[in-house]
Amino acid sequence: MEKDLSNHRMNYDKDALLEANTPENPIELFRDWFLAADASDGVHEANAMNISTIGLDSFPKNRMVLLKKFTWEGFIFYTNYNSEKGKAIAKNPNICLSFFWNTFERQIIIKGIAEKLAENLSDGYFESRPDGSKLGAWASEQSEIVSSREELDTALASYEDKFRDNEIPRPKHWGGYLVKPISIEFWQGRPNRMHDRIRYTLESDLNWKKVRLAP
């Protein structure tokens, strides 16, 4: 089988990213780009991001997760701490997040250090989830091999029974990570592959160095 994609190409010309229009703090620019993407009908889930970890097998692995909050401190997502990514992060907390909002011809790449979120914050977010998602967090031993779909459905049914008429507590193995950024790179597509790339690197407490990179 062969499928040639050599003619698949786009010219990017929607916007520019010039130093003069960039703030001192990259989280501000992240916020501006995120809010634009989130408000656009052309972006389905603006908070879907790719995260890559270095696995226990020494290979990088990417997968999508949902960004659930960002603050001056960093970026928060939720998952199962016993999952493949959870085990990878326990061994090596250096991770990379990326967003691609194709309607805007924009990419953001964030390198950072992941740390478990304070338990009370994970509790607060878990509490806000629909019951179905709460039960799913109990029923799925994320990233483990399962024998069949039926095994999953049976596990879900058993937790439905267990917690019927009761509050569903947060499983201790499920919670958030806060990713504290050490570098944030903004990419704006430009014509003729002469894209704009501005990278911020954290130098010391809240002091970011900004450079332009060749496309």
- What is the CA 99 to chain-centroid distance, rounded? 8
* Span near ligand FMN by CB under 6 A; candidates 29-37, 62-70, 120-128, 185-193: 62-70
User: Of 83, 107, 140, 188, which lies in the binding site for ligand FMN, with binding defined by CB under 6 A?
Assistant: 83
Q: Are 121 and 142 in contact (CB under 8 A)?
A: no
Number of residues counted as binding ligand FMN (CB under 6 A): 16
Give the residue with the Cβ less far from ligand FMN, 50 or 201.
Answer: 50
Catalytic position from the list 149, 170, 190, 193 = 193
- Identify any residues that bridge with 102 across adjacent strands, giving them in sequence order: none
User: Of 33, 70, 84, 99, which lies in the binding site for ligand FMN, with binding defined by CB under 6 A?
Assistant: 84
User: Of 64, 165, 204, 205, which lies in the binding site for ligand FMN, with binding defined by CB under 6 A?
Assistant: 64
Torsion of CA 58, 59, 63, 67, to 10 degrees: 40
**Inter-axis angle of helices 149-162 and 131-139, nearest 10:** 120
The answer to whether 164 is a known catalytic residue is no
* Span near ligand FMN by CB under 6 A; candidates 18-26, 78-86, 112-120, 181-189: 78-86
31 touches ligand FMN (CB under 6 A) = no
Helix, coil or strand: residue 100:
strand
Helix, coil or strand: residue 202:
strand
Structural tokens at position 193: 């592959």
Taking the C-alpha atoms of residue 183 and residue 203, their distance in angstroms, rounded to an integer, is 9
113 touches ligand FMN (CB under 6 A) = no
Read off the amino acid at residue 127: E
Q: CB of 79: closest distance to ligand FMN in angstroms?
A: 3
- Taking phi first (over 0 means left), then psi (-120 to 50 degrees means alpha), and beta for anything else, what does residue 88 get? alpha
How many beta carbons lie within 10 A of that of residue 75, not counting itself?
25
Q: CB of 88: closest distance to ligand FMN in angstroms?
A: 8
Binding marks (x or -) toward ligand FMN, 125..154, rule CB under 6 A? -----------------xx-----------
Give the residue with the Cβ less far from ligand FMN, 80 or 122.
Answer: 80
Chain contacts with ligand FMN (rule: CB under 6 A): 45, 48, 61, 63-66, 77-80, 83-85, 142-143
